[in-house]
Structure 1
Amino acid sequence: MRNQRYRSASIFRQFAGKTLGLSVLAGSVFISMYSFADEQSLASQAVGNEQKDVAQLDTIVVTATRREESLQKVPVAVSIVSGRDLDKKQKSSLETIVSEVPTVNFRAGASNKDTSLFVRGVGTISTSPGVEPSVSTVVDGVVYSRPGQATLDLLDVDRIEVLRGPQGTLFGKNASAGVINIVTKKPTNDPSGYVDVYATNDGEQRVKLGASGTLIPNTLKANVTALLGNYDGNVKNLSTNKDVNGYKNHGFRTKFEYTPTDNLSIGLIADYMHKDGTAPTGVVVRNTNANYAAALSPVVAHRENRETIENTSASTEDTNQGLALTADWTLENHQISSITAYRQWKNTQIQDGDQLSAATVNFAGIADLGTVNSKQFSQEIRIKPLAPGFLNYVAGLYFSKNTNDETYQRQSTWYNSSTSAYVTDSGRAVYNTDSTNYAIFGEGTFNFTDRLRLVTGLRLTRDELSYDHERNSTVPSSVGIRNAIRSNYASSGSSSETGVSGRIGPQFDITPNINTYFTYSRGYKGPAYNVYFNMQSIDTPVLDPETANSYELGLKSQWLDNRLRLNLAAFYTKYDNYQANFRTLDPNGFPITRLVNAGDVSTKGIELDATYKQNPNLIYSLNLANIRARIDQFNCPAGDTSCPDVNGKRLPFSPDWKVNAQVDKYFPIANNRQIELSTQYSWQSDVQFSLDQNANTIQPSYGIWNASIALNDTAKDWRVALLVRNILDKSYATLLSTNGDRINRQVPRDDERYFGLSFRKNF
C-alpha cells in the first residue's frame, strides 16, 4: 500500500508518464526499422563518402595506462561513462553509474559512511576505519582512502573510467577488485561558461554554474564549477510530519594550469562539497513481532513502504574537501610527473536504532551519534618515456598517510520492570586508526612486432596499520551488554605487511581493428582491524591481507567501417582471505556483525560493451554482464556455534545478470536545431544483500526504464529536456538489512516515477 502522499498523485500524471514512455519506445523502434530500410538509399547519395565518415564512432581516449591511448588499444577491461552523458541524464553522483556499467554495484546506507562500490561482485562490506577499500576511487590522480568519500556529488566530469579486476601497477594505490578513475575537465584556452538548471515534479532542484578560460596569455588558465542542490525526499516521517530521505548540498571545484616554460606545467586543484542528508535508518518492510507492529503503528510494514515514525530524525552532515598540486616536467626523452595531495573528510551521523516514536515496555529507545574526521596526505611520482619504442613503460613511487579519528555514542532508554520505571544507559567510544602505505610500482609493454606485445607490471607495497579504542559505558561489566551497549573496554594494536602484486600477459592485434589480450593479475589488499563502537576482545586480532589471482581474456574490436564497437572480456578471479562483515550471535545470543577473513571466494563471468552507430542520427548501446560471485570456502569465526553453511552461496551485492540497453535518436530540424530522443532500460537479476544468506534480504529481479526528449540548438548552444525516470513505477531496494525481528529497506531516489525538466546554456 503506497503512502498517502503518493496515492494522491493525479491520474493525469500517471497517464502522461506511461504515454510518454511508451511513445519514446515505440518511436525508437519505428525509427530503427525505418532507418535500417532506408540505409542503402542514404549510402548511395552523392555525399556517400562524407556520410560514411560522419557515421563512424568517435575514438574514445583513456588514461587507464597513465598515457593517452585509444580505448580499443589498452589491454585492460575498461568501461567509459562520459561526463556529457551524465549531464544529459542529470546523474550527479558516482552511485548512479551502476545503471550505466553492469559490472558495478553499489552498497547503499543511511550515510555516506556506510556506502561503497563493488566491481565484479567484490567490494568493501565494512565501515571500520581499519579497512581499506577493495575498489579504489581516483579523482584526477588522487586516490581516496575511504569508500564513503567517493559517493558525494561529482563536478565538471570529463569521463569516468571503470577498470575492472585487480589493479596496482599503474595507480598510486593498489586495489584488489577494481579502480574508478574519474577525470575532470581541463581549463579551456578561450573564455567559456555554462549554466545547468534541473527541477523535478517531486521537489528536487539543482543548479550548476561553470566558467573557464585564460587568465594570463600562454601562461595561466583556470576553470571553476559550483553546485547548489535540494531535495525534500520520498519518505514520510509521521512523527515529525516531514519528508525525509532527501538532501541539501553545495560545493565547488576549481583547477588552475600554470605553464611558465614549454617543458614545465604546474596544476592546482581545489574542491569542496558539503551535504546535509536526511536518509532514515531504514523503513521497515517486514516484521514478525506483534508487539513491535503495534508500536510501529500507524506505519505498516510492507514491501513498498515509504513511511517511518523515527522520533530521533536520522541525518548526516558530510564535508569532503581537498587540495592537489600537480607537476609535469618534460625532459629530452622523458616526462616526470608529481601529484601531491591533502584531503579531509568529516562526517556526522545521527541514527534512530529502534525506529519508533518512543521507548515502550517491550522495546528500548536507541539513538546514535557518530563523527568521523579523516585526513590523508599522499605523494606520487611517475616517470615515462615520451617517444614510443621497443619498451614503453610507466614507473612510480607512492606514499600515503591516513589518520581517522572517530567517536560514537549511543543512548538507550528502557523499561525496568523491577522498578516500573524507565532507565537510560549511555556509552561513548573514541577510536583512531593510523595507516601508512609505501609502494614502488611500474608497468611496461614490450613491442616485439607491430602486432605482438607483452605487458608486464609489478608492485611492491608496504602497509603499516595501528589503532586504539576506548569505550566508557554505564552498563556494568557484570552485565556485559544491554540494549546494544557494551560495558567499558579498551584496546590497541598495530601490524605491518609487505605485499607483492602485478600483471603479465600477451597482447595481439588480429587486424588493425581487432585486438586481443590475455593477462594474469595478482591483487593485494592490506591488513585490517575491526574497529567500531561495540568492539570487544574477539575483534582485536589483525585480519590477514586479502589477495587475488585473476585471469582475463579480452577482445576489443571495431566493425563496419568503425560504426560498430564490440568489446568482450571473460575473467576468473580467486580471492584468498576475503575480508568481509558477517552477521552472527555473540556468546550471550546477541546479534553482532564481525569483520573476518571470510575464507576463499571467487568471481567469474563475461562482460560485453557494444555500441552501433547506424547513421549519424541513430546510436544503439548495449552493456551486459554475467557474473557468478560465489563463496567457495567460508571460515566460521572462532567460537561461533551459530555459523550457517554458506559454501557455494552468492556474494552480497552481486546479481548474476545485469543489462543496460539504450537508443539515442536525433532529428535535425530548421535553424541548426535538433530533437533528441533517448530511451534506456536497465535490468538486473535478484541480489542477496547479506553474506549469511538471510532469505529475507533478497531483492527480486527488476528493471528500470528511463526516457527523455530534448530540443538542442547547436548554433546558440542551448538544450532543454524533459526526463522521465522509472516510467513503469517500479519499487525496489538498494539495501535490505536485518534489525532484530524486522527487515529494513533503503529507499532509492527513483523508487517511483517522476519527471524532470532541465535547461543548459553554454557560453
Structure 2
Amino acid sequence: MNPSPYRRLFPATALSLFPLVCTTPLAHADESAQPDTALKAVTVTATRREASLQKVPVAVSVVDGEQLERENRNNISSIVQEVPTLNYRPAASAKDSSLFVRGVGTISTSPGVEPSVATVIDGVVYGRPGQATLDLLDVERIEVLRGPQGTLFGRNASAGVLNVVSRDISDETHGYAEYSHYGKGNENRTRFGIGGKLTDTLKGSISTLWGDYDGNVTNDYNHHRVNGYNTKGVRGKLQFTPNDDLKVTLIGDYADGTNTAPSGVAESASTAYFANNFPGRLSDHNRRVDNDFKTYAEDTHKGLSAQVDWSLGAYTLTSITAWRGWDNHQYQDQDGLAGLPDDALHDTGRVNYDQYSQEVRLASPTGQLLEYVTGVYLFHGQSKEAYSRQLVDLGTTNNAHGQFSATNDSYALFGESTLNLTDTWRLIAGARATHDEVEYDHWRTSSSPTTLRSMRPSYASSGDTSDNGYSGRFGVQHDFSEDLTGYVTYSRGYKGPAYNVYFQMYSADTQALDPETSNAYEIGLKSTAFNKRLTANLALFRTDYDNYQANFYDLVAGSPVTRLINAGSVRTEGAELDYAFQATPQLKLSGAVAYTHARIVDFQCPAAAAAGCDINGKPLPFAPDWKTYARADYSIPLSNGLDVELAADYNWQSEVQYSLDQNVNTRQGAYGIWNASVALADYNRGWRVALVGKNLGNRSYAPMLATSSNAVNRTVPRDDERYFGVQLRKDF
C-alpha cells in the first residue's frame, strides 16, 4: 500500500515551519533584542520605485545575489529550488525553456507567442524566454513577483515577473577574483570584477566569467561526456552623474556558451525495437545516451541599454532605451539510437532574434496624499528561424527544411496610483492599455509528398493579427501597526494574441489564438516581530484564466508533436508563506512554503486531437501542489579574526505532472534535495574558502519528462547525484 500523501508531506512541511514554531516562546522572553540581531532590511522595486519589502502590497520573494553565487546557482533556472512558487521547464535548446509562477506558464517553441512570466533585468523586459537562460553577473537580488503584474511591467507578465537587479557601482574602488571547482563532471568557474569612481562625476565597473563542465551523462557511441557546458561573458556598466538631478547609466553585456545537453535521456522504451538496440540500462536514473549525431546548442546573448533618471523637483523622470540580440543554434539526435543505418532522425535549427524597447515613466514624490507612477512603453521584436530535419526510415532518406519569422509589436500606456487616505489606510488603483500586433511568414519544403513519421509535406502560409488589451490592479492596504500591514487586491491580466509558428506548422495552425486574460484576487499579510528579528509574509490567492494559451499533444504519422491552442479556462489558487528569523547574532533561519492548486477547469478539445481530452480537474503542467524550502545559516567568529560559516538548505516538492494530456509516463514523484556548505573567511583581509556539498541524499530526479516515438525521456539535472566543490574568493 502506498503511504498517505499527508505522511509523505509531513517531513518537508514540518521542516519548513519549524523556525516559526520554535520562536513562539520568545514572545514572552527577549523583547529587547540587540541591534545586531535585527534582520537586514530588504528593498525591492516591485512597484517601479524603491520600497521596503515589508510595505509593498505585492507578493514578492527575494533571493540574494551573493547567496546564489555561493551556492553555484548561476542563472534564473537554478533558483526554482529556493522559491517554491516558481518552476522551470528545461530543454536541450534554450529556446524551448519556460518559467512558471503559481503553476502558470507558456510551453511553446513558437516565436509568435509571449511567455506568461516576464523576465526583467535592470528595467529591460526580455521578449523571449530563451534570452533569460544566460549566466548572470553582478546580481544584487532577484525579485519574484507572484501573480499578474501587467499594470506596471507590461509584456509577458500575465502570471508573474522575475525582476533581476544588478549591483550598484561603489564609490571606492573594489575588485574581486573567484574560482570554483566541482566534482562529478569536472566543473570549473572563474569570475573577476572591478569597479569604482573614475572621476568626480563618472563611475564604472566591469565583470567577467568563464565556466566549463564536462557533464554527467555518457554517450555510449563515442564514450564522451555530455550534458555539460562551456560559457564565457563580460558585462560593463558606466554611471554618469553631472549633477544631483541627473544620472545616466549605460550597460553593455555579451555572453556566449555551448551546452551538450541531449534531446532526451531514455528512461523507458516505447518500442521493443528501441529497447533491443539501446546499449544502456533504461531506468528512472539512467545517465547514458546513444547518439551518433553530435547534439549540442550554441547561444549568444548581447545587449545595450541606457537609463536616464532626471529629478524634476520632487518628481523623477526615467527613460530606459534598450536593444537586445540573441542567436541560438541547435543540433539534435532525436532518434536516440546510433549505428543503425535504416533508422535516424536528426535536426538542426537556428534562431536570430532582435528586440528594441523604449520606456518612459514619471514617478511622483512619496509621502503625499496621492502617489503615482505613469508612463509609456514601446516594444519591437523580430525572430528569424530556420529548421532542417533528416529522416532515415527503412533505408530511405528524406529531408525537410523550413524557414519562418515572427514580428511582435506592442504599445502601452500605464499608470498606478496610491491614495493615502490616512496614515494607515491606502487605496491602490492602476490600469494599462495595450495594443499588440503579431505577424508571421512560414514555408517548408519536403522531399516527401506525403506525411511521414515526424515529417509533414511541403507547406507555406503567412498571417497577421492585432488586438487591444486592458489590465489593471485595484485594492486597499491597511497598517494594523508599525510591524503589520495587510492588503486585498484584484488584478486583471492580459497576454496578447499569438500564432503557433514552428517547423511542423500546417493548416490547423494558421488561425490566430485569442488573447489570454486572467482575473486574480489576493489577500496578503506582511509582519515583522521581535525587534525586527522575524519577518513572516503570507499571501492567499486565486486566479482564473480564460482562453489559456497552452501546448497540447498531437501526432504526425504516429510521432508526438505539440499544438499551441486556446485550451479553455484554468484556475490556480493557494497560499504562500515566506519567513526569516535571526535567532541569534550568529544563527539565521529562513524559508518558504507554497500550496498551489492549479487545475484545468474547462478544457476546449481541439478538432481531431490525437490525445484524450477528458482532463478537466487535472493538474496543470509543472505545478506541484506543495513545495517547501528551509535554510539555516550559522557563523562562528574566532578569536584570531576568522569566521567559520555553516549553511544547509532542504527543498521538497510533491508529485508533479509535466504534460497537459496527463500522460502517466510524464509524472515525477515527490522528492527532496539537501545541500550544505562550510566556509572559513577573513573579511578584514578579504578572502573566503568554502566546501560545498550538493544533493547530499544522492536523490536522482527529473525536472522534465517527455514522450517520443522511441522512449520516455528525461532531462538530467546538474545535481542528479551527490557532488562536492571548493570555492575560493579574494576581494581587493
The TM-score by the shorter chain falls in which range? over 0.9
Q: Which residue among 327, 330, 354 is the counterpart of 1:349?
A: 330
Quote the residue 2:402 is aligned against: 429
| Deviation at residue 642 of structure 1 after TM alignment | 4.5
| Residues 83, 156 of structure 1: 8 Å contact kept | yes
Quote the residue 1:21 is aligned against: none
Gap regions ≥5 residues in structure 2: 1-14
Matching residue's letter, 1:211: I
Matching residue's letter, 1:742: A
Quote the residue 1:13 is aligned against: none
Matching residue's letter, 2:401: R
Partner-residue secondary structure (3-state), 2:54: helix
Partner-residue secondary structure (3-state), 2:508: helix
User: Which whole-Å CA distance do the structure 2 matches of 1:148 and 1:679 have between them?
Assistant: 31
| Deviation at residue 116 of structure 1 after TM alignment | 1.4
Q: Which residue among 627, 630, 634 is the counterpart of 1:665?
A: 634
User: Which whole-Å CA distance do the structure 2 matches of 1:174 and 1:639 have between them?
Assistant: 30
User: Which whole-Å CA distance do the structure 2 matches of 1:251 and 1:749 have between them?
Assistant: 21
User: Which whole-Å CA distance do the structure 2 matches of 1:105 and 1:642 have between them?
Assistant: 25
Quote the residue 1:756 is aligned against: 725
Quote the residue 1:309 is aligned against: 290
User: Which whole-Å CA distance do the structure 1 matches of 2:256 and 2:345 have between them?
Assistant: 27
User: Which whole-Å CA distance do the structure 2 matches of 1:201 and 1:234 have between them?
Assistant: 10
Matching residue's letter, 2:688: R
Quote the residue 2:355 is aligned against: 376
| Residues 114, 156 of structure 2: 8 Å contact kept | no
Kindly provide the CA deviation profile for residues 95-134 of structure 1, in whole angstroms up to 9, marking residues without a partner as x: 1110110000000111111111100000111111011010
Quote the residue 1:695 is aligned against: 664
Kindly provide the CA deviation profile for residues 583-621 of structure 1, in whole angstroms up to 9, marking residues without a partner as x: 1236x5553311100000000000000111111101111
Quote the residue 2:472 is aligned against: 502
User: Which whole-Å CA distance do the structure 1 matches of 2:339 and 2:252 have between them?
Assistant: 45
Matching residue's letter, 2:424: R
User: Which whole-Å CA distance do the structure 2 matches of 1:693 and 1:148 have between them?
Assistant: 26
User: Which whole-Å CA distance do the structure 1 matches of 2:90 and 2:62 have between them?
Assistant: 23
User: Which whole-Å CA distance do the structure 1 matches of 2:134 and 2:167 have between them?
Assistant: 18
| Deviation at residue 172 of structure 1 after TM alignment | 4.6
| Deviation at residue 741 of structure 1 after TM alignment | 4.5
User: Which whole-Å CA distance do the structure 2 matches of 1:359 and 1:106 have between them?
Assistant: 35
Q: Aligned runs of 1:205-604 on 2, under 5 Å?
A: 205-217=188-200, 219-296=201-278, 298-359=279-340, 361=342, 364-415=343-394, 422-476=395-449, 479=450, 481-585=451-555, 590-604=559-573
| Residues 247, 278 of structure 1: 8 Å contact kept | yes
Quote the residue 1:199 is aligned against: 181
| Residues 359, 414 of structure 1: 8 Å contact kept | no
Partner-residue secondary structure (3-state), 1:459: strand
When structure 1 is superposed on structure 2, of 714-723 and 636-645 the one drifting more is 636-645
Matching residue's letter, 2:189: R
Kindly provide the CA deviation profile for residues 150-178 of structure 1, in whole angstroms up to 9, marking residues without a partner as x: 01211000000000000122225351100
- Per the normalisation by structure 1, the TM-score is 0.91
User: Which whole-Å CA distance do the structure 2 matches of 1:396 and 1:614 have between them?
Assistant: 43
Kindly provide the CA deviation profile for residues 648-675 of structure 1, in whole angstroms up to 9, marking residues without a partner as x: 0000001000000111111110222111
Matching residue's letter, 2:251: I
Partner-residue secondary structure (3-state), 1:730: coil
Partner-residue secondary structure (3-state), 1:96: helix
When structure 1 is superposed on structure 2, of 387-396 and 729-738 the one drifting more is 387-396
User: Which whole-Å CA distance do the structure 2 matches of 1:252 and 1:716 have between them?
Assistant: 27
Matching residue's letter, 2:392: T
| Residues 584, 643 of structure 1: 8 Å contact kept | no
| Residues 553, 611 of structure 2: 8 Å contact kept | no
When structure 1 is superposed on structure 2, of 405-414 and 163-172 the one drifting more is 163-172
| Residues 558, 709 of structure 2: 8 Å contact kept | no
User: Which whole-Å CA distance do the structure 1 matches of 2:26 and 2:470 have between them?
Assistant: 54
| Residues 663, 678 of structure 1: 8 Å contact kept | yes
| Residues 455, 504 of structure 1: 8 Å contact kept | yes
Distance 1:36 1:498, change over 3 A: closer
Partner-residue secondary structure (3-state), 2:67: helix
| Deviation at residue 640 of structure 1 after TM alignment | 2.8
Matching residue's letter, 2:535: R
Q: Aligned runs of 1:116-131 on 2, under 5 Å?
A: 116-131=98-113
Partner-residue secondary structure (3-state), 1:502: strand
Matching residue's letter, 2:104: V
| Deviation at residue 505 of structure 1 after TM alignment | 0.4
Matching residue's letter, 1:407: A
Matching residue's letter, 1:466: E
| Residues 168, 441 of structure 1: 8 Å contact kept | no
Work out whether 1:615 is the aligned partner of 2:584.
yes
Matching residue's letter, 1:213: G
Quote the residue 2:8 is aligned against: none
Partner-residue secondary structure (3-state), 1:413: strand
Kindly provide the CA deviation profile for residues 58-102 of structure 1, in whole angstroms up to 9, marking residues without a partner as x: 111111111111000000000000111112212111111101100
User: Which whole-Å CA distance do the structure 2 matches of 1:288 and 1:629 have between them?
Assistant: 29
Distance 1:39 1:605, change over 3 A: closer
Distance 1:721 1:170, change over 3 A: same
Partner-residue secondary structure (3-state), 1:73: coil
Partner-residue secondary structure (3-state), 2:324: strand
Partner-residue secondary structure (3-state), 1:534: coil
Q: Which residue among 34, 52, 56 is the counterpart of 1:70?
A: 52
User: Which whole-Å CA distance do the structure 2 matches of 1:260 and 1:272 have between them?
Assistant: 28
Partner-residue secondary structure (3-state), 1:453: strand
User: Which whole-Å CA distance do the structure 2 matches of 1:448 and 1:484 have between them?
Assistant: 62
User: Which whole-Å CA distance do the structure 2 matches of 1:717 and 1:626 have between them?
Assistant: 41
Partner-residue secondary structure (3-state), 2:325: strand
| Deviation at residue 337 of structure 1 after TM alignment | 0.5
User: Which whole-Å CA distance do the structure 2 matches of 1:499 and 1:358 have between them?
Assistant: 53
Distance 1:520 1:172, change over 3 A: closer
User: Which whole-Å CA distance do the structure 2 matches of 1:527 and 1:244 have between them?
Assistant: 38
User: Which whole-Å CA distance do the structure 2 matches of 1:318 and 1:355 have between them?
Assistant: 23
When structure 1 is superposed on structure 2, of 437-446 and 298-307 the one drifting more is 298-307
Matching residue's letter, 1:550: A
User: Which whole-Å CA distance do the structure 2 matches of 1:39 and 1:77 have between them?
Assistant: 27
Quote the residue 1:8 is aligned against: none
Distance 1:288 1:532, change over 3 A: closer
Q: Aligned runs of 1:152-167 on 2, under 5 Å?
A: 152-167=134-149
| Deviation at residue 36 of structure 1 after TM alignment | 9.0
Work out whether 1:638 is the aligned partner of 2:638.
no
Matching residue's letter, 2:672: G
Alignment identity in percent?
A: 49
Kindly provide the CA deviation profile for residues 358-404 of structure 1, in whole angstroms up to 9, marking residues without a partner as x: 3355xx30100000000000000000123420011000100000000
User: Which whole-Å CA distance do the structure 2 matches of 1:304 and 1:388 have between them?
Assistant: 57
User: Which whole-Å CA distance do the structure 2 matches of 1:53 and 1:65 have between them?
Assistant: 29
Matching residue's letter, 1:97: I
| Residues 564, 610 of structure 1: 8 Å contact kept | yes
Quote the residue 1:24 is aligned against: none
Matching residue's letter, 2:427: L
Matching residue's letter, 2:492: R
Distance 1:37 1:665, change over 3 A: farther
Matching residue's letter, 1:340: T
- Per the normalisation by structure 2, the TM-score is 0.95
Work out whether 1:684 is the aligned partner of 2:653.
yes
